[in-house]
Amino acid sequence: MRKEACWTLSNVTAGTAAQAEAVLAHAHGSLVGKMLELLADGQWDVRKEAAFALANVCTSAAASAAHVAPLATHPAHSAIASFCDLLHVQDVKMVMVALEALGGILRHDGAPGGESKSGGGGGAYALAVEECGGLDKIEQLQDHANADVYKKSVHLLETYFGSEDEEEDQNVAPAASKSAFSFAAPAQQGGFSFN
């Protein structure tokens, strides 16, 4: 019965904006709290359906920062920790659902009006992802055999956590200043010749 109830809610949250809004209006209530509990501790079939329903809530065009906050910060069952737990399962579809849901949550991280500071990281939700081991799991998914999982994980890393390449590039050489010395060799005309 729980599986069927979550399946029904996943269909409602995947529907029109008005239908998703009806569920989102109860984001502070027991309905969403029960779905979060089932996502965290339910049997696998129930967890999957709860994941679909909550992912639809997180990624809905009708979702706002006010709707996502109770999911991300629920005191007993955070959607962030539960979706991060799904990042290591063998079911590619569930990994994609978890990545999409985390993207929907992170989109509302740390900025007034709900939109994240792109490339920033450092918001409360990004920190929660990192604290529950989700960042490490997302980084590992860059090596996933599925191209969609790879692309989505790279997108999340670059958008919400900054890429390691950017951090490394910033540390390669200090910014030039007027008092810095320059030891550039003159450019060779004509390139190299190998005979």
Q: Residue 147 pLDDT more than 90? A: yes
Please give the model's pTM, rounded to 2 decimal places. Answer: 0.75
pLDDT value, residue 28: 57
- For 168, counting Cβ atoms within 10 Å of its Cβ (0-12 exposed, 13-18 middle, 19+ buried), the class is exposed
| Arithmetic mean of pLDDT over the chain | 78
* Alpha helices in the chain, H assignment, sequence order: 2-13, 17-24, 30-41, 44-59, 65-72, 79-85, 92-106, 124-131, 134-140, 147-156, 164-172
pLDDT value, residue 136: 96
When pLDDT is averaged across residues 126-135 and rounded to a whole number, the result is 95
**Hey, what domains does the chain have and what are their CATH numbers?**
2-170 (1.25.10.10)
| Token pair recorded at residue 100 | 């999409």
- Buried-state track 105-125, b at ≥16 Cβ within 10 A, e below 16: bbbbbbeeebebeeeebebeb
Q: Residue 179 pLDDT more than 50? A: no
pLDDT value, residue 40: 92
pLDDT in tens, 19-32: 777 776 765 567 77
Q: How many CA atoms lie less than 13 Å away from 89 in the CB half-sphere?
A: 18
